[in-house]
A and B are shown apart, each in its own frame.
Chain A
Amino acid sequence: AQRVTQPEKLLSVFKGAPVELKCNYSYSGSPELFWYVQYSRQRLQLLLRHISRESIKGFTADLNKGETSFHLKKPFAQEEDSAMYYCALRSYGQNFVFGPGTRLSVLP
C-alpha cells in the first residue's frame, strides 16, 4: 500500500534555528514526492518536488530511497515559515496521497 507518514504533529523551533520536517513513504518503484505548505486559512501550495532538486524559500528536500524518506530542511528558520506542511506521494492510480501534516511554529 502507498502511504506517507509524518511523525511530528507539531514542531516548534526558535527563529534562526535549523528545522527538519520528517517524511517517510511506502511505495514500490520510483516515487513522485512533493512538499506542500498551507499558511493559515489558505490553499495548499506546492513548496518542492523531489525531481527539481531546487531550494525554495531556503527549504530543500532530499529523496533517500534506502531509507524511504523525503525530509524537508531549512538551515535558519524564519517566523514567516510558521505554517502546516504536508508531504505527498503521487500513487500508481495518479491520485495524491498526503501525510497527516506537521505544524511548524517558529518562535521569536
Chain B
Amino acid sequence: DAGVIQSPRHEVTEMGQEVTLRCKPISGHDYLFWYRQTMMRGLELLIYFNNNVPIDDSGMPEDRFSAKMPNASFSTLKIQPSEPRDSAVYFCASSSRDRNTEAFFGQGTRLTVV
C-alpha cells in the first residue's frame, strides 16, 4: 500500500477563494482523521470518520469548514471562503479499529491563504 495520500502537497490561494483538500486513506482502514497543524496551536483534530460516517466534528473551527467522506477510499476537507488565518498544514490520517494500532499520516497539505 502506498500509505495515506493527500493532494495537493502545497496550495496557495487568495482570501475568499474556495479550497478543497483531498485524502485517500489506507485500504481497509475504518477510521479517517483530519488534523490541522500550526506553530501556535500545535496539532488539532478537526473531524474524524468511522466507516465513512462523521463521528466528531467539534474541532471544525467554523461553518466555513466542511468535510465529506463519500466512500471508503476518499475524503475531502473544504474551506469556503478561505481566510489568511486558515494558513496551516492539514494532515489526513487513517487507522483500523484493531487495538494498539497507530494512526498513519499522509504527507500533509501546506495551505497558504494570501
Residues on A close to B: CB < 8 A? 32, 34, 36, 42-46, 49, 51, 86, 88, 90, 93-98, 100-101
What is the bound-complex CA distance between A97 and B55, given in angstroms? 15
Q: Which residues of A contact B56 (CB under 8 A)?
A: 93, 95
> Interface majority SS on B: helix, strand, loop or mixed?
strand
Known: A43-B91, A44-B105. A32 touches B97 (CB 8 A): no
Q: B45 on the interface (CB 8 Å rule)?
A: yes
CB pair B48 A43 closer than 8 Å: no
Q: How many residues of B contact A (CB 8 A)?
A: 23
Report B11-56 residues with CB < 8 Å from chain A CB: 31, 33, 35, 42-43, 45, 48, 50, 55-56
CB pair A95 B107 closer than 8 Å: no
CB pair A49 B102 closer than 8 Å: yes
CB pair A94 B97 closer than 8 Å: yes
Chain B window 79-114, contacts with chain A (Cβ cutoff 8 Å), 1 for yes, 0 for no = 000000000000101010101101111111000000
Known: A93-B55, A94-B97, A95-B45. A42 touches B107 (CB 8 A): yes
Min Cβ gap A48→B in Å is: 10
Q: Which residue of A lies closest to B104 (CB)?
A: A46
The contact of B42 among A90, A95, A98, by CB within 8 Å, is: A98
CB pair B42 A43 closer than 8 Å: no
Q: Which residues of B contact A100 (CB under 8 A)?
A: 42
Q: Enumerate 20 A-B pairs (CB-CB under 8 Å) in ascending A order.
A: A32-B99, A43-B91, A43-B105, A43-B106, A43-B108, A44-B93, A44-B105, A49-B100, A49-B102, A88-B103, A93-B56, A94-B95, A95-B33, A95-B55, A96-B45, A96-B93, A96-B95, A98-B42, A98-B43, A101-B42
